[in-house]
Amino acid sequence: MTYPYGLKSNPYPSSPTPTEQDAKILGGTKHQEAKNSIVECISDLYKQTSRRNSDENDFRLITVVQDVGSGKTHLALHIKTLKTRQDIVTAYVDLSTISPKTNESIYSAIMRGFSREMFSELRTKFLMQICERAQKGDALAKKVLGYGFLDRLKGITIKQKAEDIIYDKNIMSQETLRSYLGAHYSQHESAVIQNIISNSFDRVTNLDDLHGRLAVTCKFFHNLLGKVTLFELDELDAQEGTLEFVKSLINAHIPASVLLLITTPSLYLDIQKVNPSVFDRLEKANYKIDLAGANSVDELIEIAIEYIKEADKTERFNKKEQHDLAAKIRVLCDEFPEFRNVRSIINILNHAIEQGYELDASEITETVIDETIKHTYPGLKIKGSIMEVPISEFIKIKRTAGATQDQVKQAIANLVNYAHEIGNVSKSAMQNPSFDVVYSDPFGTKIGIAVVMNDNHAKNFEVISNVVKSSAFVDKLIIITNTSIPQSNLATIVNVDKSKVIDLLYFNNKYTERKLDEPESEKVKILAKTISVI
Task: Show the domains of the chain with their CATH numbers.
Answer: 22-118+202-290 (3.40.50.300), 133-192 (no CATH), 295-380 (no CATH), 404-530 (no CATH)
Averaged pLDDT score across all residues of the chain: 89
Q: What is the pLDDT of residues 371-387, one digit of tens each?
A: 998 888 887 778 788 98
What pLDDT is attached to residue 455? 82
What pLDDT is attached to residue 83? 58
Query: What is the rounded distance in angstroms from the CA atom of residue 155 to the CA atom of residue 432?
Result: 113
- pLDDT band at residue 85, thresholds of 50, 70 and 90? low
- pLDDT band at residue 403, thresholds of 50, 70 and 90? low
Q: Does pLDDT of 252 surpass 80?
A: yes
What pLDDT is attached to residue 2? 85
What pLDDT is attached to residue 416? 93
Q: Does pLDDT of 462 surpass 90?
A: no
Query: What is the rounded distance in angstroms from the CA atom of residue 170 to the CA atom of residue 393?
Result: 69
- pLDDT band at residue 308, thresholds of 50, 70 and 90? very high
Query: What is the rounded distance in angstroms from the CA atom of residue 463 to the CA atom of residue 362?
Result: 47
Q: Does pLDDT of 337 surpass 90?
A: no
Interval 334-362 mean pLDDT: 91
What pLDDT is attached to residue 353? 96
- pLDDT band at residue 56, thresholds of 50, 70 and 90? low
What pLDDT is attached to residue 263? 95
Q: Name which of 359, 375, 357 is nearest 367 in CA terms.
A: 359
Buried b (16+ CB within 10 A) or exposed e, 378-403: eeeebeebbbebbbbbbbbbbeeeee
Query: What is the rounded distance in angstroms from the CA atom of residue 23 to the CA atom of residue 76?
Result: 8
For the ranges 34-48, 52-66, 200-214, 511-525, the lowest mean pLDDT is seen at 52-66
Interval 463-488 mean pLDDT: 88
Name, in order, each residue with C-beta under 8 angstroms of 130's C-beta and a sequence gap of 6 or more: 141, 144, 145, 162, 180
Interval 57-84 mean pLDDT: 87
| Element holding 263 (H helix, E strand) | strand 257-263
Q: Which residue has the higher pLDDT, 287 or 534?
A: 287
Which stretches of 380-457 are assigned E, i.e. beta strand?
426-427, 437-440, 446-452
78: amino acid identity, one letter:
H
Q: Does pLDDT of 84 surpass 60?
A: no
CB neighbourhood size of 124 (10 A) = 18
Q: Does pLDDT of 47 surpass 90?
A: no
- ω into 100 cis (within 30 of 0): yes
What pLDDT is attached to residue 401? 66
The model's pTM is 0.77
Q: Name which of 366, 387, 303, 414 is nearest 28 in CA terms.
A: 303
Q: What is the pLDDT of residues 441-461, one digit of tens each?
A: 988 899 999 999 988 888 888
Q: What is the pLDDT of residues 6-20, one digit of tens each?
A: 999 999 998 878 888
What pLDDT is attached to residue 55? 59
Query: What is the rounded distance in angstroms from the CA atom of residue 185 to the CA atom of residue 521?
Result: 87
What pLDDT is attached to residue 395? 84
Q: Does pLDDT of 130 surpass 60?
A: yes
Q: Which residue has the higher pLDDT, 50 or 289?
A: 289
What pLDDT is attached to residue 76? 92
